Amino acid sequence: MSKERIKIAPEFFDIMPPEYQDLVTKATYGNEQRGWKDIGTSKELIEEHSLCAGCPESMAFRYILASLPNPEDTVMVGSTGCTSLVFPHVAIHNIHSLFGNQNAVASGLKRALMVRFPGRVKDVVVLAGDGATVDIGLDMTMQAWFRQEKFTTICFDNELYANTGGQESGLMQKGFVAKMAPVGKGFEKVRLPEIAREAGCHYIVNCTVSKPSLIEKVVKNAIYVARELGPTYLQLYTPCILEIGKNSMEGLQEMRDAEKPTERFAYKEYISEPAKQLLAEMAAKDKEKKAAAKQLASQGA
């Protein structure tokens, strides 16, 4: 992997908008060690965002984009919702699919990429809201998992339809009253992580985006496992501060509160046996590599 494919013609470098100049000179494409710590020291793959000020989805976007192991060979598939308004500002190939269809589109895309580029690792990552993943798109979401499609599904769970003003979603908590769901939710939050496990996902995490290091770890794991074994699923709490009546600065605390041990976003993971084995092998190789590098460095010193 390298930056070779994103070179600006030298004749036009001077007229390119500065953010494109920065992308080719200071972004972390091609850097195998890229991660959340690059934020602030390199060019991020998100330019601006069109979310409400302080929306935790913006943090989630930044951490995920910083953590993708292979951004120049990654295609993201989005769906309608607050997230979809961000994609025009993202420097990664992406497809906007019809609301709910994201996992069907991603299935075809991943298969086509495997045929078209047999020798190259191409990652497909779905990123959609809870309404798209669990309600209108549940059929497509689950069918892709049943079929063992090799891509990662990320759900930004803000527990309602935010972009259309606050309707009830399957992932909403029981009893919750939203602006356009005035009688309160009548049934429990759908247990999608458990459904994902039963539907055949190999790596599943349910958590908030309060900790960038954790997001880096789970995003990388989910992508590595999807490459080799089959579907993976991340359900990330990204509270809609607008709908729950919080200020811009309060999103982080809301996530910290929701991840306490007895709360609904307490860290939870399911890893299949083959995925456990794969991750253990990768960790061992990584350790070996680091030890070799250390030894080399000490010999050189």
Partner 1 sequence: MTQYRVLPGPEHFLPPSAASMGIKLPNPGEGHIHGVIVPEEQAMEEAARQFLMARVPTIFPGPLVLWAWNEKAAKKATAVRHLYETIKECVAPQQKPMLIPMPDYRPKYPKINPEVEINPNHPNLTIWHNKIDCCMFVGVHCHQANLSLKIIRGGTNCFTIAMCAQAGHEDAMLSFRDATPEKIMRLAEWVRKLKGSVKPPEVVSKKEKSAG
Which spans of this chain sit near partner 1 (rule: CB under 8 A)?
5-12, 15-17, 20, 47-48, 50, 87-89
The site partner of 82 among partner 1, Mg ion, ligand TPP, none (C-beta below 5 to 8 Å per kind) is ligand TPP
Should residue 164 be labelled a site residue for ligand TPP when binding is judged by CB under 6 A? yes
H or E element: which one contains 103?
Answer: helix 102-116
Should residue 78 be labelled a site residue for Mg ion when binding is judged by CB under 5 A? no
Name the one range near ligand TPP by CB under 6 A: 32-40, 78-86, 186-194, 248-256. 78-86
**Contact call for residues 158 and 239 (beta carbons, < 8 A):** yes
Residues within window 65-84 making contact with ligand SF4, judged by CB under 6 A: 82
Binding-site member from 91, 104, 125, 242 for ligand SF4 (CB under 6 A)? 242
Binding-site member from 29, 61, 151, 156 for ligand TPP (CB under 6 A)? 156
Nearest CA to 128 out of 64, 93, 78, 190 is that of: 78
Q: How far is the CB of 32 from partner 1 (least distance, A)?
A: 23
Binding-site member from 63, 87, 99, 233 for ligand TPP (CB under 6 A)? 99
Report the relative pairing of strands 123-129 and 74-78 from DSSP bridges: parallel
Q: How far is the CB of 192 from ligand SF4 (least distance, A)?
A: 18
- Give the residues across from 269 on adjacent strands: 205
Question: Coil, helix or strand for 238?
Answer: coil
Should residue 135 be labelled a site residue for Mg ion when binding is judged by CB under 5 A? no
Q: How far is the CB of 171 from ligand SF4 (least distance, A)?
A: 13
* 100 backbone φψ class: left, alpha, beta (φ>0; ψ -120 to 50): left
Give me the count of residues in the chain: 301
Residue 2, CA distances (Å) to 18, 103, 257 in order: 21, 28, 41
Should residue 101 be labelled a site residue for ligand SF4 when binding is judged by CB under 6 A? no
Binding-site member from 130, 149, 216, 254 for Mg ion (CB under 5 A)? 130
Binding-site member from 67, 74, 80, 272 for ligand TPP (CB under 6 A)? 80
Residue 280, CA distances (Å) to 121, 200, 201, 253 in order: 20, 20, 18, 33
The count of C-alpha atoms lying within 13 angstroms of the C-alpha of 151, restricted to the half-sphere facing its C-beta, is 30
C-alpha 221/C-alpha 274 separation (Å) is 13
Which residues sit at the interface with ligand TPP, rule CB under 6 A?
Answer: 80-83, 98-99, 128-132, 156, 158, 161-164, 169
